[in-house]
């Protein structure tokens, strides 16, 4: 199932960035073998709400679990054998860790010249900061994201999800897919160097050229983007609605929906730049109009007049929404520990070779260790000895 069904991935990652990268591979059909520490496993098994926590069920779906202690020579040999038969290796340890464990990517690539190694780290594999420890939040700060999130009168906020990690995992998968494509021509693998801070930097739009060319410094602006109007969250009698009408023709339709078509010809609001200069006044006028109506009423008017608008969805709203259902944006997975569990579906969608969730996250650490070791050439006596000594 899926366009990557002939690809084999070994994941040495932990927490979010590396495992999310491997999750994307698994969702698109790749066989993913996750190597995690014996007994304790990946710390992600303990993250999130629920008893036991349910986040693991998402990030470890479509994966097989092998428990191996990479701090031991025997565990390192297990990793080498599994990687020798892999197309892609994903790891997100601090630079130098693999080398310390005698798993230097240069040696791994020499043994398996077609291997693609995705290395995700805080600052990348080179540069003066390379050996520093780094989490997603640090990447968000250094990459420019955190400085722009929140209101001007408060310290920087966070988004509420680990966006730096997820972006790095996504770019890691993108880089590996590009390397797989190139391998079709050259027959050779390569290393994909992904940093958390550069993953965030990639989505910072015109932040740097705006500063260089115009001296413009972006700053926190709360629920608006300064100079882009109207685009804000507006109060209704029973909730809030985001309306985005920051384009001339769309604003004209919004003005008509409000029953004040003359606003579109008002010199203060007739053009993009004019609306930006009078953003606060325009937001006040729109809020005064929405405040006396329900969310449903305003949303219906926006749909009628083809004005982009959306409610603030939480999990309950998503589960009840007919569009989510029609798109199968949320699917139910039969898990070992939680039974039938709804979660986000596989994305992006392919029409001819779609991905899917073929197996739930491994409930037990090392659930697939014995099967994978047998496939790697270990005999039953050796496997039993490794288990007895706690290496697997």
Taken in order 314, 319, 322, 327, the sign of the CA dihedral is positive
Q: E strands of 149-283, at which residues?
A: 191-195, 231-236, 239-244
Query: Quick one: DSSP state of residue 377?
Result: T
User: d(Cα 43, Cα 347) in Å, to the nearest integer?
Assistant: 25
Which are the contacts of 250, defined by CB distance < 8 A and separation ≥ 6?
244, 306, 307, 308
User: d(Cα 291, Cα 285) in Å, to the nearest integer?
Assistant: 10
Q: What positions carry a catalytic annotation?
A: 165
User: d(Cα 157, Cα 222) in Å, to the nearest integer?
Assistant: 10
Rama region for 39: left / alpha / beta (φ>0; ψ in -120 to 50; rest)? left
User: d(Cα 97, Cα 95) in Å, to the nearest integer?
Assistant: 6
For helices 17-27 and 163-186, what crossing angle results, to 10°?
Answer: 50
């Amino acid at each position: 199932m899926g366009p990557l069904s002939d690809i084999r991935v070994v994941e040495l990652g932990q927490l979010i960035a590396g495992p999310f990268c491997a999750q994307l591979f698994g969702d698109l059909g790749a066989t993913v073998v996750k190597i995690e520490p014996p007994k304790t496993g990946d710390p992600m098994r303990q993250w999130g709400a629920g008893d036991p926590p349910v986040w693991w069920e998402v990030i470890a779906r479509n994966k097989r679990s092998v428990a191996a202690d990479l701090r031991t020579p025997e565990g390192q040999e297990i990793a080498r054998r599994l990687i020798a038969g892999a197309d892609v290796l994903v790891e997100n340890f601090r630079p130098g860790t693999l080398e310390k464990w005698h798993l230097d990517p240069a040696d791994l690539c020499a043994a398996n010249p077609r291997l693609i190694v995705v290395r995700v780290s805080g600052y990348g594999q080179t540069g003066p900061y390379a050996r520093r420890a780094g989490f997603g939040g640090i990447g968000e700060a250094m990459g420019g994201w955190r400085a722009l999130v929140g209101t001007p009168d408060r310290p920087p906020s966070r988004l509420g999800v680990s966006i730096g990690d997820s972006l790095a995992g996504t770019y890691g998968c993108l880089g590996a897919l590009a390397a797989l494509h190139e391998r079709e021509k050259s027959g050779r693998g390569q290393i994909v160097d992904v940093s958390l801070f550069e993953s965030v930097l990639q989505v910072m739009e015109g932040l740097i050229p705006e500063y260089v060319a115009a001296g413009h410094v972006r700053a926190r602006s709360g629920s608006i983007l300064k100079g882009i109007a109207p685009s804000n969250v507006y109060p209704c009698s029973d909730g809030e609605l985001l309306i985005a009408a920051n384009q001339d023709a769309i604003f004209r339709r919004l003005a008509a929906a409000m029953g004040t078509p003359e606003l579109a010809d008002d010199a203060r609001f007739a053009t993009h730049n004019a609306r930006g200069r009078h953003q606060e006044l325009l937001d006040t006028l729109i809020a005064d109009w929405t405040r006396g109506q329900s969310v449903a009423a305003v949303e219906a008017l926006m749909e009628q007049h083809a004005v982009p608008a959306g409610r603030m969805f939480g999990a309950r709203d998503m589960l009840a929404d007919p569009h989510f259902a029609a798109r199968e944006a949320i699917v139910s997975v039969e898990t070992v520990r939680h039974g039938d569990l709804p979660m986000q579906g596989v994305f992006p969608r392919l029409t001819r070779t779609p991905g899917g969730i073929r197996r739930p996250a491994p409930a037990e650490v090392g659930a697939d260790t014995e099967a994978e070791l047998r496939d790697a050439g270990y005999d039953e006596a050796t496997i039993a000895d490794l288990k007895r000594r706690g290496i697997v």
